[in-house]
Structure 1
């Protein structure tokens, strides 16, 4: 199983859209994909018409009584999506209380890694949708993954969130004594606006070696897919956003192949 975290310490930058789009395109290639929702807001969970306020089992429950060690329990948490080859490990709003409940307990930063180990041969990829704050959930995502994708909206205020995310990543890599490859992905790009153009130029100047040189454009079809609970390529396989995500996936896969 290959595990990618999609993360940024700023909300509204396209994390959930990136998870769903990349996951759907991997499924299009015949891959078995698990989408994991680590955000208490449950946007990924809601995308597939699951209610984060009413689910009786979710990622939250895996943090207690060592439930992550019980493969049958882990499987019982997983939900279907609109594609047979893509499954969802959902979130509930209870995740918002997790930081306080597990504070000081040993091993809480590795629960997700140990959960995914139970499913290692059942999926080819796991894509993790993360919360926009540094805490036990984001730490779990960074500890579990082998690659990090950082969607960043092409507007000035997003640059500060990107700076915090890169700082957090470097701090975590030092504490874990490992290198985690990452790619910054410009999102919500509108070439008609000066804000998008100047922000993209600044990203290229500051993060050139870690930046995807293309950008995910603003595309209302991505929003339409969310409204319908579909993967974007199911709704519009040749849409601007889907084509951009195909290019992005190709670059990530090429990088993975180079690393072996």
Structure 2
């Protein structure tokens, strides 16, 4: 199973859209895909119409029980999506308490990695949607991942969030002796605006070799797809945004 983490220490840059879009396309290609929500806001969970507060088991239980959950219990906690081969491990607001209640517990940073190892044979891909803050949830998602995707809205303030994200990965690389394979994904690109053009040029100049050479354009179909609680590949398969994510996926698979 390949494990990708979608992360940035700024909200509203397209993390959940990227997770859902790539996961949906992979599933439509016949891959077995698991999307994991590690954000207390549960945007990924609600995207698919899952009311996580009514669930008996969620990603919170995986952290609360540590590595005690067996593979069958983990699989029972997953929710199917409307796309064949695409499942969701939902989040609840309770995971917002993890840093306070369990953050100092030994081994907490590797819970997700060890959990995913138990269901490795059931999926081809796992994609983790991260919260925009550094804590035990982001640490787990980064520790488990083989590739980090960093969506960056093509505007000035989002570049500041990218700076914070890069410093976080540098710190974790030092502490874990792990080199992250990461790709910066320019999102919400609007070629009509100077702000997008300048931000994109800055990304290419400052992070040469780590920026996907394409862009994810502004596409109102994404908003419509989330309203319909469907992955973009299902709701608007011929939209320009979906074509862009297909190009991104092709790029990532060549480098994987």
TM-score by length of 1: 0.96
Unaligned runs of 5+ in 1: none
Cα distance in 1 between the residues matched to 2:75 and 2:184: 32
Unaligned runs of 5+ in 2: none
- What is the correspondence of 1:180-191 to structure 2 with a 5 Å cutoff? 180-191=180-191
Cα distance in 1 between the residues matched to 2:79 and 2:160: 35
Cα distance in 1 between the residues matched to 2:65 and 2:229: 33
Whether the 8 Å contact between 2:40 and 2:95 is mirrored in structure 1 is yes
1:25-74, Cα deviation, whole Å (9 max, x unpaired): 11121100000000000000000101133322100011123355322221
1:175 matched to 2:159? The reply is no
Distance 1:68 1:9, change over 3 A: farther
Equivalent residue number for residue 150 of structure 2: 150
Equivalent residue number for residue 103 of structure 2: 103
Whether the 8 Å contact between 1:68 and 1:114 is mirrored in structure 2 is no
Equivalent residue number for residue 9 of structure 1: 9
Equivalent residue number for residue 53 of structure 1: 53
Cα distance in 2 between the residues matched to 1:164 and 1:186: 16
- What is the correspondence of 1:60-75 to structure 2 with a 5 Å cutoff? 60-66=60-66, 68-75=68-75
Runs of 4+ in 1 over 6 A off after TM superposition: none
Equivalent residue number for residue 228 of structure 2: 228
Equivalent residue number for residue 127 of structure 1: 127
Cα distance in 2 between the residues matched to 1:16 and 1:103: 25
1:100-128, Cα deviation, whole Å (9 max, x unpaired): 01021101111101111111000000000
What SS does the corresponding residue of 2:5 show, helix, strand or coil? strand
Cα distance in 2 between the residues matched to 1:227 and 1:192: 26
Whether the 8 Å contact between 2:67 and 2:111 is mirrored in structure 1 is no
Cα distance in 1 between the residues matched to 2:229 and 2:31: 20
1:3-24, Cα deviation, whole Å (9 max, x unpaired): 0000000000000000000001
Distance 1:140 1:24, change over 3 A: same
Equivalent residue number for residue 247 of structure 1: 247
Q: Cα offset for 1:229?
A: 1.0
Whether the 8 Å contact between 2:58 and 2:90 is mirrored in structure 1 is yes
1:37 matched to 2:40? The reply is no
Of stretches 3-12 and 62-71 in structure 1, the one that deviates more from structure 2 is 62-71
Equivalent residue number for residue 160 of structure 2: 160
Query: What do you get for the CA RMSD once the two structures are aligned?
Result: 1.0
Cα distance in 2 between the residues matched to 1:68 and 1:50: 25
Equivalent residue number for residue 21 of structure 1: 21
Whether the 8 Å contact between 1:59 and 1:89 is mirrored in structure 2 is yes
